[in-house]
Amino acid sequence: MHAVSEQLTIDEIWSLLESVPDPEIPVISVVDLGIVRDVSRKGDEVTVTVTPTYSGCPATAVIAMEIEEALRRKGADRVRIEMQLSPAWTTQWITKQGREKLRAYGIAPPVEGAPCAGALKAPPVVACPRCASDNTERVSQFGSTPCKAHYRCKDCLEPFDYFKSF
Amino acid sequence: MPKAAKDNLAMEFSLRMGDNCLILGQQVAAWCGHAPVLEEDIALANTALDLIGQTKFWLGLAAELEGEGRSADDLAFLRDVRAFRNGLLVEQPNGDFGQTLMRQFLFDAWHYLVLTALLSSTEKRIAEIAEKAVKEVTYHLERSSDLVIRLGDGSAESHARMQTALDDLWRFTGELMTPDSVDEALAEIGVAPDLGRIEKQWAEHVRAVLQEATLTIPEGAYMQQGGKAGLHSEAFGHLLADMQFLQRAYPGATW
């Protein structure tokens, strides 16, 4: 299968990765999420450098497996997934397209400029992903996964997840 | 300083950081399904998850620096009481929600300051772990500070419980900021921060929050030491028995 893998260009690998979903939020890809930091190849070995979102995120191992499988299906036999801690992942790396997909899925995308570094500040104003109202309040800083906070809209009265800036 | 000596110090430091995260993470995880409200249940589980994730990095680095072929899992599950290097604060029992929260707050304030200082560690691998962890711990500190204020300055019942928790736990905070010979050597070569500086910043934040929470810091309390040297409290053996049972009974068992 070497011949096939050698045909995969770096660009093709990136587009392939754009179809690998985040296991927790399947509407966005690992590329949209900004966790794929680099793609390189040496001979027939493809190396994908990935950075974890949160240290304990259980999806990290699944993501590595899914990337490997997606590349193997396209004939890349030798795939290496490298974990890179620094520079640490930030929600600023979530693509514009990724943000829109999050909103359409019912998750408010991160409000940038409200980074977590600078603790003890008032929580950011987050627009409701359903009715776009700014009249929302934070219920809890921790939601269904480490990367989300729990909010509610005081206009349409719906609870929603906020992908917190990180 | 020769590389082997520096590696040895960095390993000891990684063990201390990793053991603090592991033991607190293990304890906080026990709240899953038992917290007073759903939001807190989720927050506690998320905090525990972050801490266990950070443990993986710290103990992974400690194992690598040790160079004896042990893994992070080996260090977590196959060491005995005397080999653990966590502070006494994190091994204090969960108690009621107030005890758990006060323990978290006193630790988070220290953890946040140490990680922030470690961003400029001369040991690159340590700085990298800190860069990742400090983002998570910022959220931990924000939450625990907020809740300590709300419960301390809450009802008579919540105030009394928070004050009891503070009285019980205060004596275990000094150790985190009292340097031993390892801390001094680490600070000298710029691998870890000067704990005297951390203590000043810690006291500033903690006093401000406790004051707003209408809680009183116990005066002239004796500060208990021992964790860094492997001298742990009685409860610690039970904690390890719980945490390590599976790997001890079924060596190498995996999911």
All structural domains of chain B with their residue ranges: 3-249
Residue A3 has pLDDT above 70, yes or no: no
Can you give the pLDDT at residue B11? 97
Mean predicted confidence (pLDDT) in B191-201: 97
Q: Does A58 touch chain B (CB under 8 A)?
A: yes
Mean pLDDT score, B218-224: 89
Instruction: Please compute the mean of the pLDDT values over residues A92-113 and round it to a whole number.
Output: 92
Model pLDDT for residues B124-164, shown as the tens digit of each residue: 999 999 999 999 999 999 999 999 999 999 999 999 999 99
Residues of chain A with CATH 3.30.300.130: 4-83
Give the pLDDT score at A121: 59
Q: Give the end-to-end CA distance of chain A in Å, rounded to a whole number.
A: 41
Considering the entire predicted model, what is its pTM?
0.92
Contacts of A55 in chain B (CB under 8 A): 50, 53-54, 56-57, 132-133, 136
Q: Determine the residue of chain B that is closest to A89 in CA distance.
A: B132
Q: Does B130 contact A at CB distance below 8 Å?
A: no
pLDDT at position B52 over 70: yes
Q: CB B217: neighbour CB atoms within 10 A?
A: 14
Distance from CA of A27 to the nearest CA of B (A): 23
Predicted local distance difference test score (pLDDT) of residue B60:
97
pLDDT band at A122 (very low <50, low <70, confident <90, very high): low
Is the pLDDT score of B34 beyond 50?
yes
Question: Residue B184 above 60 pLDDT?
Answer: yes
Residue of A nearest to B49 (CA): A56
Of A58-62, B6-10, B85-89, B174-178, minimum mean pLDDT range: A58-62
Mean of the pLDDT values across residues B96-120?
98
In this prediction, residue A56 has a pLDDT band, given cuts at 50, 70 and 90, of confident
Q: What is the CA radius of gyration of chain A?
A: 18
Number of neighbouring beta carbons within 10 Å of residue A78:
16
pLDDT over threshold 70, residue B1? yes
Of A27-31, A80-84, A121-125, B77-81, minimum mean pLDDT range: A121-125
| Closest CB from A58, A119, A145 relative to B142 | A119
Fold of B3-249: Ferritin (1.20.1260)
Residues of B in contact with A85 (CB under 8 A): 57, 128-129, 131-132
Predicted confidence (pLDDT) at residue A118 exceeds the cutoff of 70: no
Kindly report, residue by residue over A81-101, the tens digit of the pLDDT.
999 999 999 999 999 999 999
Q: What is the mean pLDDT of residues A26-55?
A: 93
Predicted pLDDT of residue A146 = 81
Query: A4-83 domain in CATH 3.90.1490.10?
Result: no
Local confidence band at A113 (pLDDT 50, 70, 90 cut-offs):
low
Query: Mean pLDDT score of chain B, rounded to an integer?
Result: 96
A131-153 mean pLDDT: 90
Q: What share of chain B has pLDDT > 70, as a percent?
A: 100
Mean per-residue pLDDT, B182-203: 97
Q: Is the pLDDT of residue B254 over 90?
A: no
Return the number of CB contacts < 8 Å for A and B.
83
Provide, as residue numbers in chain B, all residues whose Cβ is less than 8 Å from the Cβ of A89: 132
Q: What percent of chain B has pLDDT over 90?
A: 95
Q: Is the pLDDT of residue A116 over 60?
A: no
B interface test, pick of A24, A50, A55 with most B CB neighbours within 10 Å? A55
Of A86, A120, A142, the CB nearest to B131: A86
B161 and B96 in contact (C-beta within 8 Å)?
yes
Question: Residue A115 pLDDT > 70, yes or no?
Answer: no
Q: Which residue has the higher pLDDT, A146 or B134?
A: B134
SS3 state at A47:
strand
Q: Is the pLDDT of residue A117 over 50?
A: no
Q: Give the pLDDT score at A119.
A: 44
Residues of B in Cβ contact (< 8 Å) with A117: 134-135, 138
Angle at B30 between CA B60 and CA B244, to 5 degrees: 50
Cβ-Cβ contacts under 8 Å for B40 (sequence gap 6 or more): A140, B97
Among the ranges given (A1-10, B116-125, B156-165, B217-226), the one the predictor scored with the smallest mean pLDDT: A1-10
Say whether residue A146 is in contact with chain B using an 8 A CB cutoff. yes
- Are B85 and B21 within 8 A, CB to CB? no
Q: Report the Cα–Cα distance between both ends of chain B, in Å, rounded.
A: 43
pLDDT at A5: 46
Report residue A79's pLDDT band, with 50, 70 and 90 as the boundaries.
Answer: very high
Task: Pull the structure tokens for residue B77.
Answer: 């599950």
Choose the closest CB to B46 out of A89, A119, A146: A146
Mean pLDDT taken over chain A: 88
Q: Shortest CB distance from B131 goes to which of A88, A116, A141?
A: A88
